[in-house]
Structure 1
Amino acid sequence: MQYLVTSSEMKHFDTQTSQTIGLPSLVLMERAALAVVEQLKKGQFNLHKVAVVCGYGNNGGDGIAIARLLKLQHINVIIYLVGDPNLASPETRQQINIAQHYNITTITQSPKTLVNYTTIVDALFGIGLNRNITGDLLQIIKLINQSNADILAVDIPSGICADTGKILGAAVKAKQTVTFAYQKIGFTLYPGHEFAGEIIIADIGIYADKKPEHYTYNHHDLARLLPDRQNYSNKGSFGKVLVIAGSQNMCGAAYLSAKAAYKVGAGLVRIYTPECNRDVLLSQLPEVLLTPYIPNQIDSDQLKQLINWASVIVIGPGMGISTDTHKILSCVLASANIPIIIDADALNTLANDIDLLKQAHTTIIITPHLGEMARLTLQSIDTIKNNLVATAKAFAEKNQVICVLKDAKTIVATPQKPTYINQSGNNGMATGGTGDVLTGIIAGLIAQHLPATQAAPVSVYLHGLIGDAVAKKLGKHSMLASDIIDGISDILNNQTLS
C-alpha cells in the first residue's frame, strides 16, 4: 500500500515535523535539495548548463538550495527568481542570503527565453497553489515547456492542483518529479498525471502523526490481498454469485460479468435474465446456472428465492431501463441481506428514483462511469472530472454506499474509510464491456469472503493490472473485454506462484 496526500495533509505533516518534533524547516529544505541533486546526478539529465526557476515560497527555497549544491559540484547553474519578493517566506529569504555568499548568478527579472539551457529545475510553485496562473508567471511556464531542456519538477510540477490534478492556467511538463515524503494526489489523477513524468518519492524526514486519507496499491500488495483458498473445500466454499443482467437480445454484459466472476474463483454463478437469452448464454458459458424470466411477468417469489440462494448479487449490466428493471431492483434492495453491486442500467434506474436506496439494509456497491455519476448526482461530467475524489466521497458518505467511480484513474470511496485511487490500467481498456468484467470480478472476490470494503479496491487494481498485461501482449488498440477475462488466469497464477 502506498499513501497519497492532499495539500492540507502535507502542510500538516510539515508543520508537525518542524514545530512539534523540532526538526527545523531549513533542515528539511536542505534534505529536499540533496534528494533532487542526487536524482539530477544519476545520469538522466544533461547538466552542461542548468537553470533553476524559483518562486518566493518554500518551493523556491528548495530550488535555491539545489542551485547552491550544484554550484559546489562545479556545475554551471543560474537562478531565475520570479514573483513578488515581498511574499518571500523566511526560509527562502535565508536561502537567498546564503546563495549570495556563494556567488551564484541570480536574475530577478523574468527570462525572455530558456532555450540555451540543457536542464531546467522547476521550483516555481509548490503544493499550495490554488489559483490560476496568469501574466508573467504564465509566460515563464510556457518558456520552460518550449525550452527543449530536460525538466525536473521539485515536489510537484508548477501549475498542477495538488488535490485534483487540474491545470491551473498552465503547468510545467516534467521529465521527472522528485516529491517529498508522499506522492501527492494531484499527479496521480488526470490531467496532472501527464505532466509529472517519472515520479521519485524522497524521504527527507517528514513525520506523519496520522495516516493519510488516500491510498493506492502496487504489485507487491496483490498476493496478500487476494482471498485464501482452503484445500478442504467444495464449490459452495467459494460462494454463489447471482448476476441479474441482460435484456431482450442483449446478453453480452451478462456473459462478461458471469464469466469474470467464475474466472476469479467464485464457486457458483447464476444468471437471472429474460428467457430469450437462455440458449445463447448456455452455449457460450455452459458452467453457468441460469434462471430465465418472462418480460413483464416478474415472479417476485422466485426472485426472492434466488436472492436467498446467493452470497452476492450483481444487478444492472445490459438490462435496459424498463418497468422490469425498476421492479427487480426494488425487490433486490428490499429483500437482500447480502452485498449488492449496482451497475449500468440499474444505476440509471436508480438515478430516476434515488429513494430506492432507502430500502436497502445491506452493503451496497455502485460502479458508475462519469455519465452515470452525472445522472446520479445531477452534476455535469466536467464538474465531476475536475473533482473525482470529492464527488465519489460525498456520494458514498451521503448514501452510505461504496462508490467505485470509474475513470482513467478510478476512485473507490467508502464511508468513514480512506479513499482508494487506482494507478493500474490503460486506455486500451476504454472499450465496451470492460465495466461488466470489473463488476464480475468484484462479485467473485466478495463471494470468496473478501469484505466488500476490501474487494472493491482490490478488484479495481486487479482489473487494471490484467489490462496492463493484456496491453503488452495484444497492444492497446486491439483489446476486448473478453481479453481481460482471458488474462485473469495469468495474473492470479503468478500471484499464487510468487
Structure 2
Amino acid sequence: MRLLTPKQVNIVDQYIESLGLPVSHLMEQAGRSVFEVLHNHIQEIDGPKGVLFLCGIGNNGGDALVVARLLTEVPEVTPYVVVCGNPEEGSPLFQQQWKVVHTLEDSIVIVTDEMMQSNGNLIPSHILRDVSLVVDGVFGTGFHGELPRQIGAMFEQCKEWRSHSDTRKCIAIDIPSGVNGLTGNADVSSFRADETITLLAPKVGMLMYPGRQYVGKMTVGSIGYPFPHHALWDSGHNWPESYWNNADSLYVEARSPIAHKGTNGHVYIVGGSPGIYGAPILSAEGALRSGAGKVTIVSGANNLDALRSLSRPEMMIRDCNTVEQLDGNSTVVIGPGGGRSSTDRKYLLQWMESVIDSHMVIDADGLMAIASDVSLLKQCSYTLGKKGYAVVVTPHLGEFSALTGIHIRELYNDPIGYANAFAEECNVYVVLKGQPTILANPAGRVYLTTTGNPYMGTGGMGDVLAGVIGSILNQEQDPTNAINVAIYAHSRAGDIALEELGPGFTPTEVAQRIGCVLPTIDGYMRMIPL
C-alpha cells in the first residue's frame, strides 16, 4: 500500500484541482467516507447518541464539519461542534463549511467560547455525558512541533473521558492531531484515537513511533479520486516512494511440483566463533523453516565440533577451507557469530570478496567488518549486481551508525531518509531493523513493516531473519518482494509466538512458526500444474 508524506498530500490536492475538480468536492467526499465509518459505530451504540467534533480552522476542520452536517440526517443523533480557533481566520474551505453549519443550528449544537471558558477552557462535562463518540478534526497532516496548551489539555480530557467506558470511542480524521505526518514525532498530549480514518492513503508518520501509538485501528477513506501515482512521479518531490509492507501487498511465486533441493536454493551461512556458536545455528534454522533446499554452515576447522553439537541433522557443517565453489541458486549469509577480532574481520571480508555468483546477505559481525571498508561493499554490489544478484545488509540502528558514521540520535530522527540514501549510494538493499522495520532498495523505494512486537528484542532474533532472507532470495525472482516476504514472515511469526506462548519466547520458537505465516501469503500454497 502506498504511503504519503505531508508534502505529497499537497501535491495530490494541487494536481486534482488542476484537472478542474474543485478541492471542495474532495472535502465533501472525504467527509462522506468518515461519515460512513461513524455511522457504523453509531449503530452499535447503546448509550447516548451524541457525537462531539473537535474542529480546527483548517481543511481538517472543514472535513469534520461536513461529517457533522451529514449526521443531522441520522435519527436520534446530535452532533456537537467545538471550534479550536477563530472561524473568521479559517481556511476558505473551512469558512464555507462553517457558514453551512450555521444554517443548521437547530440540528447541530455549537459549543461556544463562553461555554468553554466557563469550564476552564475544557469541554463542558454535561456535553461529554451526552456523547459516545469524539471526533478529532483539529490539525491535519501539516502539523509539526508542540500542541497549544489548551488543545493538549482538551485531548487529555478526552483520554480521561474515554477511559471510563469501553463503549466510548475516539476517532481521528486523516491523522491524530499532534502527530507529525512525516517523522512520527508526537506531542505527549496528542489525540489518542481508537480508530483513524486516513484519507486516500496512510501517512508515513502514522507508521513510525511514537506517533503510531496514537493512531489505533487504521481505516483508509476515499476522497473521490483514485491514487494519482503519476502526479507524484512527475512532481520532482525529493522523497522515496514509500509503501506499507503487509500480507495484502505480498505475493509468492508458485512452486513447481517437480521442485527439489537443488531448485529450492542453497543457503551458506558463514560465521560461528567461540561463545557465539548459536548465531549461525539460528540463521540456519530460519533458512530451513522458510523452505531452503539445503543449508550449510561454513566455519573454521576449530569451530566445527562445537557447531555440530548444536546443529540439527538437516544442517550441513563444513570447513571453510574445503569450500571451493558454491552451488548455483544460492545465497551466502555472512556474519552471524563471526567474531570481531582482527582475524575474524579479515576472514569475513575475504568471504565477501570471494562471492561472485550468489546473492549475499551481510549481518551482525559481517556488518561491523565491512563498516571499516564501505568501498568493498560498493565493489561487491557492483560485481554481483551486474549478474543480477542482490547484496542485502541487515543492521539495527547501532550497526547502521557504524556503517554510516552518523550518530544514532541523528539516524533516529530520519531513519527512512538515511536508509534510502545508503541503499542508493552503495547499490544495496538495506533492512533497517526496528519498529517499523524499513527496507530501502537501490531504486529509491522504501517499505515499512509494522508487524512484530517488542518481545522480539532479544539476542538471536536478527540471526533468524538473516537466514529467512537468504532462503527466500533463492525462491523469488524479485529481490525486493523476497526481502519483504522474509521480513513480514519473520515478524508475523513473532506475533504468533507472543499469542501462543506469551512473553519470553525464543528466536528458535519464532523460526518454528514461520511455516504458519507463509501459507497466508497469496500464491504460496499453489503449485504450477503439471
Task: Give yes or no for the alignment of 1:479 onto 2:490.
Answer: no
Q: Which among 69, 74, 77 is matched to residue 75 of structure 1?
A: 77
Distance 2:50 2:306 in 1: 67
Distance 2:375 2:293 in 1: 33
Structure 2 counterpart of 1:22: 20
Do the aligned partners of 2:175 and 2:198 also contact (CA within 8 Å) in 1?
A: yes
Structure 1 counterpart of 2:32: 34
Alignment of 1:22-421 (within 5 A): 22-43=20-41, 47-73=48-74, 74-85=76-87, 87-103=89-105, 104-107=108-111, 109=113, 112-114=121-123, 115-116=125-126, 117=128, 118=131, 119-148=133-162, 150-168=169-187, 170-210=189-229, 213-222=241-250, 225-283=251-309, 284-292=311-319, 305-307=324-326, 311-337=330-356, 338-360=358-380, 361-362=383-384, 363-421=390-448
Cα deviation, residue 309, structure 1: 6.5
Distance 1:330 1:448 in 2: 26
The normalised TM-score by structure 2 is: 0.85
State the one-letter code of the partner of 1:214: S
Distance 1:485 1:37 in 2: 43
Distance 1:204 1:268 in 2: 50
Q: Structure 1: which 5+ residue stretches go unaligned?
A: 294-298
Change (3 A) 1:32 1:209: closer
Change (3 A) 1:374 1:221: same
Change (3 A) 1:286 1:324: farther
Distance 2:405 2:112 in 1: 48
Deviations 1:315-358 (A, max 9, x none): 11111212233222322332322221111111122223333323
Do the aligned partners of 1:70 and 1:77 also contact (CA within 8 Å) in 2?
A: yes
Q: Which among 438, 441, 454 is matched to residue 427 of structure 1?
A: 454
Cα deviation, residue 29, structure 1: 1.5
Structure 2 counterpart of 1:446: 473
Cα deviation, residue 99, structure 1: 0.8
SS in 1 for 2:178: coil
State the one-letter code of the partner of 1:27: H
The normalised TM-score by structure 1 is: 0.90
Range moving further from structure 2, 173-182 or 326-335: 326-335
Cα deviation, residue 220, structure 1: 4.2
Cα deviation, residue 108, structure 1: 5.5
Displacement over 6 Å in runs of 4+:
none
Deviations 1:380-402 (A, max 9, x none): 33333332222211221222211
Range moving further from structure 2, 305-314 or 344-353: 305-314
Do the aligned partners of 2:338 and 2:348 also contact (CA within 8 Å) in 1?
A: no
Distance 2:303 2:103 in 1: 80
Structure 2 counterpart of 1:296: none
Structure 1 counterpart of 2:165: none
Cα deviation, residue 243, structure 1: 0.5
Change (3 A) 1:307 1:327: farther
Deviations 1:14-66 (A, max 9, x none): 2222x133322222212222222222222356553332111111001011222
Change (3 A) 1:401 1:86: farther
State the one-letter code of the partner of 1:20: S
Cα deviation, residue 271, structure 1: 1.0
Cα deviation, residue 90, structure 1: 0.9
SS in 2 for 1:160: coil
Cα deviation, residue 113, structure 1: 2.4
Cα deviation, residue 141, structure 1: 3.0
Q: What percent of counterpart residues are identical?
A: 32
Do the aligned partners of 2:3 and 2:244 also contact (CA within 8 Å) in 1?
A: yes
Range moving further from structure 2, 260-269 or 325-334: 325-334
Distance 1:36 1:419 in 2: 29
Task: Give yes or no for the alignment of 1:9 onto 2:8.
Answer: yes
Cα deviation, residue 434, structure 1: 1.2
Cα deviation, residue 449, structure 1: 4.6
Distance 1:47 1:393 in 2: 49
Cα deviation, residue 88, structure 1: 1.4
SS in 1 for 2:72: helix
Aligned length: 485
Cα deviation, residue 483, structure 1: 0.6
